[in-house]
Amino acid sequence: MTKIKNIVVLTGAGISAESGIKTFRDTGGLWEDYPVEQVATPQGYAADPDLVHRFYNARRKDLKTVKPNPAHEALARLEKGLIEKGGYMTLITQNVDDLHERGGSENIIHMHGELTSQWCTACQHKFYSQGEFTPKSICPKCDVAGKIRPDIVWFGEMPYRMDTIELAVMNCELFVSIGTSGAVYPAAGYVQMARSLGKQTLEINLERSEGSHHFHETRQGKAGKLVSVWVDEILNG
């Protein structure tokens, strides 16, 4: 029997790096090539929706060329293993890719939205698509043109499912952060919430993050290897 049964895992771009998806703030990261205020803010979208659609069309196209890596698969294994032992796992991801789903995880919260989701701001319909969009795209539900935006949480907007996330952190025994720089709130603050509630905390990241000092334990290295090792420890512990 595993000793720890209820775990919250928060992931960031670093977990998908070994699959070939660019992170944001590392050298050569996405925010070096694309000014964040142009492609990841409501103001940037209002100023140049064509540029913003092209940016997310390209990210969505990239999804077709990548696949989950051992870290995504290990987290899916952990979820199943905990359930078999009467436990529970909540996977909170800041990532907008679909590699956790394709890696086999089921209970996933995409707090920053999803590349494969589109949002019609005329009728509020959200729909799945792997295709391309332009400022003239038509909503499949209300037929209005020009109101479809990427279902991505931009800077200045409220992340999704905050209540569910906070409840999960409150109820967990262990909070684990994987592959995130800890630069963006509220995600970066969940470790402090967990600590203040007396939870155990662990960070797995290539390098020390901005919030490393908040964690009980930090492990440095590539997620593809370290996450599998940690999952084995939990499931065999």
The 159-198 contact track toward ligand OAD, x by CB under 6 A, reads --------------------xxx-xx--------------
Residue 232 has which token pair? 């084995």
216 is catalytic: no
Grouping H, G, I as helix, E, B as strand and the rest as coil, residue 175 is: strand
CA angle 24, 133, 156 (to 5 degrees): 45
Q: Compute the half-sphere exposure of residue 18: CA atoms within 13 Å on the CB side of its CA.
A: 18
List the x/- string, 71-110, binding to ligand OAD by CB under 6 A: -----------------------x----------------
Only one of the segments 24-32, 58-66, 82-90, 130-138 lies at the binding site for ligand OAD (rule: CB under 6 A); that segment is 24-32
Which one is catalytic: 112, 125, 214, 216?
112
Give the integer Cα–Cα distance in Å for 235 and 237.
Answer: 6
Please list every residue from 35 through 54 that binds ligand OAD, using CB under 6 A. Answer: 40
Least gap, CB of 9 to ligand OAD (angstroms): 13
- Among positions 7, 8, 9, 18, the unique one binding ligand OAD when judged by CB under 6 A: 18
Sign of CA dihedral 131, 51, 59, 20: positive
Closest residue to bound ligand OAD by CB? 14
Which stretches of the chain are assigned E, i.e. beta strand?
A: 6-11, 88-93, 108-110, 113-120, 126-128, 148-152, 174-178, 200-205, 217-220
Please report, as ranges, the residues that interact with ligand OAD according to CB under 6 A.
12-14, 17-18, 23-26, 29, 40, 94, 112, 153, 179-181, 183-184, 205-207, 209, 222-223
Which residues are marked as active site?
112
